[in-house]
Amino acid sequence: MELNFYKPAKTVTGPAYSVYFKIVATVFSIGLGVYAIDIALRFPLLEYGFSVKALLFFAALMLIVSYYWFLRSTVTIDEKGITQTWLYNRQVEWRDVRSAKMLGVPYAGWIFPPRLVVRTGNSFTTFNGGSRELLIEFAHISLAFQMKKQAGD
């Protein structure tokens, strides 16, 4: 196997999630927050046991952390590989990539743009692209590895 088969023409960095996805995430999070407040006002939550309170607290914490990272997450494609920031960063180096393919959600591309699925050994890593530049680079990566696969046949 060739080391560092793919090299991008330039470093590309952009948001991991599209503006439309961020809008839907915001509306959904606000809706869940309003619903949580409604539940808290209608039920005596303080009378419930510690485990119920802990469960509700950590569910709210997970929602806040996920929402924060949906808004802040970025993808960087450079000469070393692909990195997506999140609560924990996903990183794949070019020398580890065995194949790459773009996958989309039919009829929902406006909210869920195609993702790049990268195969490394026995695992798969998915990268989200929230900008036009990232999606173009994803297409270049996918095409390069598709051509490499066809040349190997």
The 10s digit of each residue's pLDDT in 58-110 is 999 999 999 999 999 999 999 999 999 998 899 999 989 999 999 988 887 77
With respect to residue 123, please indicate whether it lies within any of the assigned structural domains: yes
CATH of the domain at 81: 2.30.29
Residues 78 and 48 in one domain: no
Average pLDDT of the chain is 88
Residue 60, CA distances (Å) to 32, 39, 46 in order: 9, 13, 16
Residues 44 and 94 in one domain: no
**What does pTM read for this prediction?**
0.81
Residues 143 and 83 in one domain: yes
Tokens of 45: 């939550």
Q: How confident is the model at residue 152 (pLDDT cuts 50, 70, 90)?
A: low
Residue 35, CA distances (Å) to 22, 85, 140 in order: 20, 30, 43
- Residue 77 near residue 137 (C-beta atoms within 8 A): yes
Q: Is 73 helix (H, G, I), strand (E, B) or coil?
A: coil
The distance from CA 31 to its chain's CA centroid, rounded to whole angstroms, is 22
Residues 86 and 57 in one domain: no
What is the extent of the structural domain holding 53?
Answer: 20-69
